[in-house]
Amino acid sequence: MEDILELVALDVETTGLDPVEDRIVEIALLRIKEGSIVEKLVTLLNPEIRIPPDVSSIHGITEEKIKGAPFFRDIARKVFDFINGKVLLVHNADFDIPFLKKELKLCGLELSGIKVIDTLAIARAQFCFSNNSLSTIAAYYKIDTSGSHRAEADAIMTYKIYCRLLEELQRKK
């Protein structure tokens, strides 16, 4: 793998699993240059639909917590500018990217031709973890999992996992 000097670690928390029906309730974008977080965009969002209690029990984001939070449309341009032309680092891109594309499209912004590094895909292809959840892989590498299922903590874990996976792949060469 080539060295990438700048990445944007991405994580979203949502109202459910369906990118067509569900919405983003929290987003974290962390711009990482040469190993350091140099800029962040982290916010709760008002999804404009109900957050089911069973979903709130996973990420801890309740109707009460999103009162006064911006709508995605309020930050859409900022999100687009933050990630446009960057390499996105995601754990389970098949989940996060469709949500992000949908929200941007609803705001008239088209996310196309993005480059994505998916730590889930790397883990599945190269390693035999008991399961490939973010928390399981983080625990395997002794990466702090406190705050998991919140967007910023998960984005940080994703970056740390990426670094460890790269180290392992380089050792395998």
Is residue 149 flagged as an active site residue? yes
Tell me the pairing of strands 87-90 and 115-118. Answer: parallel
Q: Give the DSSP H/E element, type plus range, for residue 11.
A: strand 6-14
The active-site residue out of 149, 163, 164, 166 is: 149
- Output b/e per residue, 113-143; b: 16+ Cβ within 10 A: ebeebbbbbbbeeeeeeeebebeebbbeeeb
Which positions ≥6 away from 80 have C-beta within 8 Å? 104, 109, 111
Distance CA 110, CA 63 (A): 29
Active centre residues (catalytic): 149
